[in-house]
């Protein structure tokens, strides 16, 4: 089986590629802007015809699109998250119309949810930010493409190597920089919102399952299946880091998730369709994330 992973050098793409490489009879190709990519492409600016030619040369049986913009700015979000999937679908219809397309969407597409009620895939989509809106546009492009495609609506990824732009990755980086200084102060905005965190390694397993032959729903939620206060994630990282300073919380939360106080995905459909469920706890994820920073943890001796 020939599988192309777009965005293979990014946070999610690296884990997805690593998981797929463990499968038997898989020949893996990487796609993206990196010089060593098998398919050099930037979906934000790609020409459909040229991309179709390159895809035809690779003849993939499955394509996994991990490329995405993490809310950098509205223009970049639109180019990468909305235009990118549309161009990819158009090129695949020309070059590999029978290939399975697995596209990574986002739970941000749902927007604000009723507290205490996990959202199913047929819930209304009311994104609160340009990030969520552009991810939704990408989902619509994939789901309406006529291809053999599935969108995995991903919760909040956490785990080893988390991107510094993300809350888990950024928190780990700040705690790493603060070190063991008892007078250190790490400041955050409001941490009261609840999110559905999913280990990136569990996400990679879901992607691998979705590349297998057989019918799938157009959209599947991939999350941890429970709503966790962001404050709990920060405290968990503080504990595993052995941080001795002070955490201060004031102001508003992340602009990427503004206006969304509570979010949790119902992952029943993914269990049924993929035979998948999360294996890692949040504690597992935070320990692996901290270990990936290379910093000493609470169990390590103080120099």
Contact predicate 288/222, CB 8 Å: no
- Cα–Cα distance measured from residue 75 to residue 51, given in angstroms and rounded to the nearest whole number: 22
Contact predicate 204/157, CB 8 Å: no
- Cα–Cα distance measured from residue 135 to residue 257, given in angstroms and rounded to the nearest whole number: 13
**The length of the chain, given as a count of residues:** 303
CA-closest candidate to residue 233, choices 215, 203, 254: 254
Helix (H) or strand (E) holding 231: helix 230-241
| Strands in the chain per DSSP E | 2-6, 27-32, 39-40, 62-65, 100-106, 148-154, 156-158, 185-188, 194-195, 197-199, 219-222, 228-229, 246-249
For residue 244, what are the contacts with CB-CB under 8 A and spacing of at least 6? 180, 181, 182, 184
The span from the first CA to the last CA of the chain, in angstroms, equals 50
Active-site residues, by number, are 131
- Cα–Cα distance measured from residue 57 to residue 95, given in angstroms and rounded to the nearest whole number: 9
- Cα–Cα distance measured from residue 212 to residue 293, given in angstroms and rounded to the nearest whole number: 33
- Cα–Cα distance measured from residue 276 to residue 216, given in angstroms and rounded to the nearest whole number: 13
Helix (H) or strand (E) holding 135: helix 130-143
């Amino acid at each position: 089986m020939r599988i192309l992973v777009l965005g293979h050098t990014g946070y999610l793409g690296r884990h997805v590629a690593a998981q797929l490489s463990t499968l038997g009879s898989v020949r893996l190709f990487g796609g993206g802007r990196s010089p060593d990519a098998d398919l050099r492409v930037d979906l934000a600016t790609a020409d459909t015809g040229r991309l179709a030619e390159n895809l035809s040369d690779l003849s993939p049986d499955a394509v996994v699109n991990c490329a995405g913009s993490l809310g950098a700015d509205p223009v970049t979000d639109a180019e990468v998250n909305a235009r990118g999937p549309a161009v990819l679908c158009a090129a695949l219809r020309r070059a590999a119309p029978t290939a399975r397309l697995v596209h990574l969407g986002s739970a941000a597409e749902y927007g604000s949810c009723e507290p205490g009620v996990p959202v199913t895939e047929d819930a209304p989509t009311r994104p609160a930010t340009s990030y969520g809106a552009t991810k939704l546009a990408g989902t619509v492009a994939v789901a309406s493409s006529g291809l053999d495609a599935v969108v995995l609506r991903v919760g909040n990824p956490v785990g080893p190597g988390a991107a510094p732009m993300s809350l888990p990755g950024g928190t780990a980086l700040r705690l790493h920089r603060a070190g063991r200084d008892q007078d250190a102060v790490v400041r955050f905005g409001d941490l009261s919102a609840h999110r559905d965190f999913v280990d990136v390694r569990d996400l990679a397993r879901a992607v691998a399952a979705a590349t297998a032959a057989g019918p799938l729903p157009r959209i599947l939620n991939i999350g941890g299946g429970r709503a966790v206060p962001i404050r709990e994630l920060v405290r968990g990282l503080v504990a595993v880091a052995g941080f001795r300073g002070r955490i201060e919380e004031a102001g508003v939360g992340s602009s990427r998730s503004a206006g969304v106080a509570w979010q949790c995905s119902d992952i029943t459909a993914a269990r049924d369709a993929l035979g998948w469920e999360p294996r890692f706890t949040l504690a597992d994820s935070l320990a692996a994330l901290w270990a990936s920073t290379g910093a000493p943890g609470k169990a390590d001796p103080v120099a």
